[in-house]
Amino acid sequence: MARLWSILDLFNTKRHKKASSDQDERDLFIQYYKVFRELLDANHRVLTTMADMQEKAGGAYVFDQAYIRTSCRTLLEGVEKIIGNLNVLSGDRYKNLMFPYQACMREIQDRLEPKTVIPQTAHTLHLKTLGQDHIGSAGGKFAGLGEVLNRVGLPVPAGFVITAWAYVEFMKFNDIEEFVRNQLEHLDIRDYAALQSITDEIQKKILYARVPPDLQDAVMSAYRSLCMETGIKDLKVALRSSAVMEDIRASFAGQYQSVLNIPADAVLDKYKSILASQFSPRGIFYYKQKEFHIEQMAMAVGVLAMVDARAAGVAYSRNPERPTQDQILINAVWGLGPLAVEGSVPADYIAVVPEEPGGISYLQHNRQQVMLIGNPEGGIVEAPVPEELAGTPCLSDAQILRLAELVRKIESHYGRPQDIEWAFDAKDRLFILQSRPLRVSPSTMPAGTKFPVTVKGRRRLIDSGTVICRGVGAGPVVIVRDDEDMARFPQGGVLVIRHSDPEFAILLKKAAAVVAEIGTPLGHLATVIREYNIPAIFNATHAAAVLEPIETVTVDAVYANVYEGIVEELLACKREEGEFLSTPVVRQLREILELVTPLNLTDPRSVSFSPKNCKTLHDITRFCHETAMQTLFDLSKESHFSEHSAKRLVAGVPLQWWVIDLEDGILRGVKGKTVKVDQIVSIPMQALWKGMTAIPWEGPPPVDTKGFLATVLSASSDSSIEPAVARQFVDRNYILVAKNFCNVSTRLGFHFSTLESYVDEQPNNNYVSFVYTGGGAADDRKSRRARLISRLLEYFDFRVEAKGDSVFARFEGHPGESMEKRLQVLGHIIVHTRQMDMVMYNDTMVDWYYKEILKAVHSFIDLGA
């Protein structure tokens, strides 16, 4: 911003001082033009970001709070840049725009960072007193477990929680929070050695800290009450993390420690161990990558009576890849559950359709050789699976159906898919140990997509496995076995691992794909993989041995194949937007968008079109863009050399065009307030105009409209309207030209398009950028028109993004002749899709107009170049 204000001072000084020559004034005006270009660039970035956030808010893609933060930062920085540039152009006339901007910024920050208030409670709370409304004190995991017990009425182990307030008191008592804040403030999580060093320091400080005496008394008193409740003297317990943000805004699957079968004399030490676990390299990576603040890392710890599990595991209430199907997935192992969630042993993997006869099917059979059991002295140990159990199903059909019934009840209560941990004890009692929202895959192949089952002529290295997250990824093979391998893992590598250990989550931000020899779709790593939307295959037998000698591979996580080399045919296959069910992070984005995208300033000619009526960032952006156009127009009129004044274009079309010459865009010597088309020498503008006029526009499509829309159509097609007449729905259309550049903004009623192009003899300099949005019809019709324009532009080699009723397209890096022909295409499309949203009744109309426009374009353009 400081640079902008210094430019402003320069401009103001020069504007109030008579230029010594025409060339001085010309240079000054070109500097204004450059500032205007910066404003346009920032405006484009802001609008693109808004459109992307709106698309994400529709639930089509998985995203997290880090995405929201980054997008908001891009918006706020962009809008501030726009305001600054407008004030440079206008002589600081619109400084008051900072007031609505700052109001929006404060409200966005409040919604982006709701103050994390840890309620002051007792140091311990019994599980019977908890529910989903106790997240601030019990953390996400144990608030959810209390909900299952007290609101759903399902069996959970007896227990209590050491509250988040106890964590606050512990950290304060030992002066740890400020130490942690200072250590993490400037940490670069890409520096693995620094990350490891800092985590060691923080963890040691917590492990060697004192537990405050009143907290010790509260925990041991609650433990003794738990012994009385269960009737078991010297009861062994499980301690599990329950962070305040856990399972709320992001998946913390496997990030923090849980400990099992703990005797009374070890409870307090294990409590500190769990607090320290959030500052592991993996935990800090997650904390920094998700952009949480230290205040949001408050940790409650749940204490549960130990379940002597005969079998345990995880259940998904829906298939993450096909969430609309009525299918439950169950992962089961003998003994205690950690082996199931870690994916470190081959387990039973069962699909259940509860209402269908014979609805139980085994997708993978148990070949488990070791199991986890409680050690009589405390802790857990590995033991061989008893001979009579080895190779047999962990659960009977009756147990499977009992579990499925509870899973459906929990899903019904929450109204969305759930990820549930469970255990059957030796007395055949079923306990729910955890329930959290299930993240479903955002990517499924669209119907009719010709995605090959196999690629002929390419060597297939792996042809079986379990797809964890659908998609395709390619890159260099990187076998990761230890910390050294992790530290060397490159950006874009294909991560190949033996077990699906959650520790590898730290590498997912860099990975192009994941291949694991052993793993389960219901494990922690699988959960985080889907959160990052990374193509992944588990249970790929001997993957490390097969892939180690190979340099690069393509991972097809659609049909569970891995090919040698880069297979472009697979990488070119598009993925469809999948279902991302409503979550807190989606709701947060939608709340923020209420301050961003609504547009209140719709009519630039209205007296309400002013800074004081800007309520959203979109309002500010719209006001600045429109005002900058007019400001640049005014600046051109005030220039002391008349050949650079804005001129009205004389052309036989029912639109008013006002031309601003930025640099040699109009023939020298043209006088007066008008200019003819053949007097414009801008290379891109001439090409565009050729396309706009090659075939006369036949006028608006015939539609049955009344009232408001009829007014729009009538006003926008009235060629007799003079610029001095203030008609509500007619806008001037501006053309900014230089010899190699043009910026054309067309505004007709509620239709908007902006085209910018640079064309010279250097192909690398050449580009066409195009934005098309708006319309007077219903949203579905405007969206169909956007799809029509997108299809046409894609046909003509543009890179296209369509978001709602907006189209963003780009064509670049081609020789001048190819650029000019694409500009002709755009000119035809701009003219001949005007008001076409009115007749986009259905997809048949899209197809019909697509064929008609293609035929018309081919009648006057030969795209051989």
Residue 332's pLDDT band, with cuts at 50, 70 and 90, is very high
State the Cα–Cα distance between residues 395 and 595, nearest whole angstrom.
52
Mean pLDDT of 217-246: 92
In the prediction, which pLDDT does 251 show? 46
Q: Measure the CA dihedral 596/598/600/603, to 10°.
A: 100
Beta bridge partners of residue 657, listed in sequence order: 733
Contact 755, 807 (CB under 8 A): no
In the prediction, which pLDDT does 195 show? 79
Residue 289's pLDDT band, with cuts at 50, 70 and 90, is low
Lowest mean pLDDT among 204-218, 678-692, 766-780: 766-780
Residue 124's pLDDT band, with cuts at 50, 70 and 90, is very high
Considering the chain, what percentage of its residues have pLDDT values greater than 70? 80
- 53-91 residue pLDDT tens: 876 776 656 677 778 888 999 999 999 999 999 999 888
- Which of 113-117, 201-205, 640-644, 729-733 ranks highest by mean pLDDT? 201-205
Lowest mean pLDDT among 37-41, 55-59, 295-299: 55-59
Q: Is 664 left (phi over 0), alpha (psi -120 to 50) or beta?
A: left
CB-CB neighbours of 365 under 10 Å: 14
Helix ranges (H only) for 297-377 are: 338-342
Contact 637, 125 (CB under 8 A): no
Q: What is the mean pLDDT of the chain?
A: 81
Please say if the pLDDT value at position 643 is more than 50: no
Mean pLDDT of 18-39: 64
In the prediction, which pLDDT does 529 show? 78
Residue 650 to residues 641, 654, 674, 689, Cα–Cα distance (Å): 21, 11, 6, 13
- Euclidean distance between the first and final Cα of the chain, in Å? 44
Please say if the pLDDT value at position 497 is more than 50: yes
Q: Could you tell me the pTM of the whole model? A: 0.52
Query: CA nearest 351: which of 380, 322, 378, 384?
Result: 322
State the Cα–Cα distance between residues 694 and 718, nearest whole angstrom.
21
Please say if the pLDDT value at position 450 is more than 70: no
Contact 651, 677 (CB under 8 A): yes
In the prediction, which pLDDT does 851 show? 92
3-state SS class at 421 = strand
In the prediction, which pLDDT does 81 show? 94
Tokens encoding 108 = 């966005």
Beta bridge partners of residue 766, listed in sequence order: none
Mean pLDDT of 102-121: 83
- 504-555 residue pLDDT tens: 877 888 999 999 988 767 665 776 677 677 899 998 988 999 999 899 999 9
State the Cα–Cα distance between residues 696 and 687, nearest whole angstrom.
16
Beta bridge partners of residue 493, listed in sequence order: none
- Which of 56-65, 746-755, 757-766, 781-790 ranks highest by mean pLDDT? 781-790
Query: CA nearest 703: which of 841, 829, 831?
Result: 841
In the prediction, which pLDDT does 732 show? 59
* DSSP secondary structure letters along 654-710: SS-EEEEEEES-B-TT--SSEEEGGGB--HHHHHHHHHHHSS----SPP----HHHH
Q: What is the DSSP code (8-state) at residue 250?
A: B
Mean pLDDT of 493-501: 88
Quickly tell me which residue has 């002391």 as its tokens. Answer: 640
In the prediction, which pLDDT does 204 show? 93
One-letter amino acid for residue 635 of the chain: L
Q: Is 524 considered catalytic here?
A: yes
Q: Which residues lie closer than 8 Å to 852 by C-beta, 6 or more apart?
A: none
In the prediction, which pLDDT does 19 show? 40
Please say if the pLDDT value at position 642 is more than 50: no
- 142-192 residue pLDDT tens: 999 999 999 999 999 999 999 999 999 999 999 988 888 887 777 776 677
**H-helix or E-strand spanning residue 757:** strand 751-758
Quickly tell me which residue has 């147990």 as its tokens. Answer: 399
Considering the chain, what percentage of its residues have pLDDT values greater than 90? 38
State the Cα–Cα distance between residues 766 and 764, nearest whole angstrom.
6
Residue 650's pLDDT band, with cuts at 50, 70 and 90, is confident
Residue 22's pLDDT band, with cuts at 50, 70 and 90, is very low
Residue 264's pLDDT band, with cuts at 50, 70 and 90, is very high
Please state at what angle helix 192-207 crosses helix 267-277, rounded to 10 degrees.
Answer: 150
Of the residues 134, 524, 644, 751, only one is catalytic, namely 524
3-state SS class at 428 = coil
Residue 645's pLDDT band, with cuts at 50, 70 and 90, is low
Beta bridge partners of residue 162, listed in sequence order: 124, 301
> When comparing pLDDT for 864 and 87, which is higher?
87
State the Cα–Cα distance between residues 754 and 743, nearest whole angstrom.
7
State the Cα–Cα distance between residues 402 and 644, nearest whole angstrom.
82
- 712-748 residue pLDDT tens: 443 444 443 333 333 333 345 778 788 888 878 776 5
Mean pLDDT of 30-45: 80
Farthest-apart Cα atoms in the chain, separation:
103
Query: CA nearest 256: which of 295, 302, 220, 315?
Result: 302
Contact 379, 260 (CB under 8 A): yes
Quickly tell me which residue has 């203030």 as its tokens. Answer: 726
Query: CA nearest 483: which of 184, 192, 285, 190?
Result: 192
- Which of 366-375, 702-711, 740-749 ranks highest by mean pLDDT? 366-375
CB-CB neighbours of 526 under 10 Å: 28
Please state at what angle helix 213-230 crosses helix 267-277, rounded to 10 degrees.
Answer: 110
Upper half-sphere CA count for residue 8 (Cβ side, 13 Å): 18
* Phi, psi torsion values for 708, nearest 5 degrees: -60, -50
Task: Spell out the domains of the chain, with CATH numbers in brackets.
Answer: 1-113+598-630 (no CATH), 116-306 (3.30.1490.20), 309-440 (3.30.470.20), 443-575 (3.50.30.10), 646-865 (no CATH)
- 593-617 residue pLDDT tens: 889 877 777 677 678 889 999 998 9
- Which of 2-6, 390-394, 569-573 ranks highest by mean pLDDT? 390-394
Please say if the pLDDT value at position 233 is more than 70: yes
- 791-849 residue pLDDT tens: 999 888 787 888 878 888 878 766 788 889 999 999 998 888 876 766 777 888 889 88
